[in-house]
């Protein structure tokens, strides 16, 4: 379990996160939403101990400050928001980089890489260069690399942004299938409809504070969504959509 106790983050004089308390158990999902600049990426980075924070973060009861980087990486992998590289690795070489952080006692390299390539539907691309594939394909490579890392949780920062609708649907269903196999997904998303495919707690952030933390069926959810995004929320055939207030 990952547990955040009174987490606050400041950049210079700017308070970015204030007293965040939450926990995510193994195999559970957390969907983080909020307007631009509300602190979502900052929250994700602090959960991985990547930035300085006040308060305490515990992983399985142990203070994250006592973890080495590779110990954290065994617990939580990271699919970043924007990824570019000037280097021309093949897809397979790139995905295999996730092995670097893997639990050493379970190494079965070739099988793990092939499985990750298949789960993310990029097996046929394995010999292509990653700087010559589409944005959606690259996103699948990042997920495959995280899978190879074999961590308890995969965290993802807006993995569907900048993708066309077909790629969005494909990536959503890959993420949902990982979750159904028991992988805990911690995801920053702008698409509220992701909660249809990914059960879990929803965290709504506004100005670095938690406005809502709970399940979709909580009666406060829609009201909080409206307050946080300053829109009117509608639901039709199980799909959320928004209009101006």
CB of 189 to ligand ADP, least distance (A): 11
Interface with ligand ADP, residue 187, by CB under 6 A: no
CB of 37 to ligand ADP, least distance (A): 4
| CB nearer ligand ADP, residue 36 or residue 68 | 36
* Span near ligand ADP by CB under 6 A; candidates 31-39, 91-99, 168-176, 213-221: 31-39
Binding letters toward ligand ADP, positions 32-61, x by CB under 6 A: --x-xxxxxxx-------------------
Size of the site for ligand ADP (CB under 6 A): 10
Residue 24: alpha-carbon gap to chain centroid? 13
| CB nearer ligand ADP, residue 34 or residue 136 | 34
* Residues comprising the chain, all counted: 245
Interface with ligand ADP, residue 11, by CB under 6 A: yes
Token reading at 43:
């929250």
Distances (CA, A) of 145 to 74, 91, 100, 172: 13, 10, 10, 17
Interface with ligand ADP (CB under 6 A): 11, 16, 34, 36-42
């Amino acid at each position: 379990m990952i547990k955040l106790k009174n987490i606050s983050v400041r950049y210079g004089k700017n308070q970015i996160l204030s007293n965040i308390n939450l926990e995510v158990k193994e195999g559970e999902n957390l969907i983080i939403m909020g307007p631009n600049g509300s602190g979502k990426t900052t929250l994700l980075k602090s959960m991985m101990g990547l930035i300085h924070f006040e308060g305490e973060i515990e992983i399985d009861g142990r203070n994250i400050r006592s973890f080495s980087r590779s110990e954290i990486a065994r617990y939580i992998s990271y699919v970043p928001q924007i990824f570019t590289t000037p280097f021309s690795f093949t897809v397979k070489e790139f995905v295999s980089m996730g092995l670097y952080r893997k639990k050493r006692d379970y190494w079965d390299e070739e099988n793990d890489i092939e499985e990750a390539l298949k789960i993310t539907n990029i097996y046929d691309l394995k010999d292509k260069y990653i700087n010559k594939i589409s944005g959606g394909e690259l996103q699948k490579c990042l997920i495959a690399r995280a899978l190879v890392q074999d961590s308890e949780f995969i965290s993802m920062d807006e993995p569907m942004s900048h993708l066309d609708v077909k790629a969005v649907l494909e990536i959503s269903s890959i993420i949902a299938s990982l979750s159904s196999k028991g992988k805990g997904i911690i995801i920053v998303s702008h698409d509220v409809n992701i909660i249809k495919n990914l059960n879990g707690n929803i965290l709504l952030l506004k100005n670095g504070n938690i406005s809502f933390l709970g399940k979709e069926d909580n009666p406060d959810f829609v009201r909080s969504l409206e307050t946080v995004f300053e829109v009117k929320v509608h639901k039709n055939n199980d799909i959320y959509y928004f209009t101006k207030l």
